[in-house]
Amino acid sequence: MKSLFARLSIGLVWLLHLLPYPLLAALGTAVGWLLWPLARSRRRITLRNLQLCFPDWTAAQQRAVARQHFVFVARAFLERGVLWYASPKRLQRLLHLEGPVEEALNGSRNTLLLGFHFEGLDAGWTALSLVAPRPVSGMYTPQKNKVLDDWVVARRSRFHTAAIVSRHDGAAGMLRQLKAGVPFYTLPDMDFGLRSSRFIDFFGVPAATLDVAPRLAASADARVYAVVTRILPGARGYAITVHPAWGDFPALDARGKPADIDADLRRMNRFIEEQVRTMPAQYHWVHKRFKNRPEGEPSLY
């Protein structure tokens, strides 16, 4: 039964990509508005995250952003069919890349690409792998259903891909790709538990933050580029910005090891905060960003 449901879901996503993009965007908007009253648990998590991160907002402001967030969640899911099945020509009309893309992908140095959990993140990976002059690699979270898992890996591997590395393989799998000279796209801004994490403030609230970015960059002597994806208004597609390489990230000691990982992670989180403030409804608030707490602190949910 689970396999049948998975195959039906895959078929639906494929069918949706055949729709004109403005119609698909409108459908996603409608689904997002319908989800708001139905997804009670995720609605509660979203509102709690916004209360924690934007305590100066009124309840009405928090609720308005949360409702709009559900629209972006729905759009990102339904538009995945376009990203995973549309022709390169169609994708080039929808994916608007900017920034030092060629520098980041040209192979002159090992490259770590930091994607963040804005709802358009799949478009960022698709855009980079589409234009890459050589194969790139990225990470993903395995699906419990094997049919869905195989599908996700296959669809994310459709353009210039060396490997899709499971998050369960840890930093070792990512490091192998980096040391082989393959640009690697990772997502370091979710609460995946206490292993390899440190509590670093995110909007003033201690958040379990993966320390993988500075450690990987130091071990592979890699340049680090932040990649931020924005869903554009008016069915205009996606803007994918590759930001200039971060200088002195991580800061190294005399042995070439990270000198202060906490400081590196604070820098990363400040960058994410700056981007969130420009599009607060598009960050992945349905995730329990503050699920794990420092010892002795009560749950925030």
Is residue 166 assigned to a domain?
Answer: yes
Residue 5 is predicted with a pLDDT of 77
| DSSP state string for 174-235 | HHHHHHTT--EEE---S---STTEEEEEETTEEEEEE-HHHHHHHHHT-EEEEEEEEEPSTT
pTM value? 0.94
- For residue range 11-25, list pLDDT tens digits in order: 988 999 999 999 999
- For residue range 186-196, list pLDDT tens digits in order: 999 999 888 88
- For residue range 235-294, list pLDDT tens digits in order: 999 999 999 999 999 999 889 899 999 999 999 999 999 999 999 999 999 999 999 999
Count CB neighbours of 187 within 10 A: 24
Residue 191: domain span: 87-278
d(CA 196, CA 216) in angstroms, rounded, equals 12
Give how many domains the chain has, as a whole number.
1
Residue 229 is predicted with a pLDDT of 98
Is residue 56 assigned to a domain?
Answer: no
Residue 2 pLDDT greater than 70, yes or no: no
Is residue 70 assigned to a domain?
Answer: no
Is residue 201 assigned to a domain?
Answer: yes
Is residue 215 assigned to a domain?
Answer: yes
Is residue 283 assigned to a domain?
Answer: no
Give the torsion sign (CA, 66, 68, 69, 74). positive
Phi and psi for 116 in degrees, rounded to 5? -130, 160
d(CA 88, CA 149) in angstroms, rounded, equals 23
Is residue 73 assigned to a domain?
Answer: no
Residue 194 is predicted with a pLDDT of 87
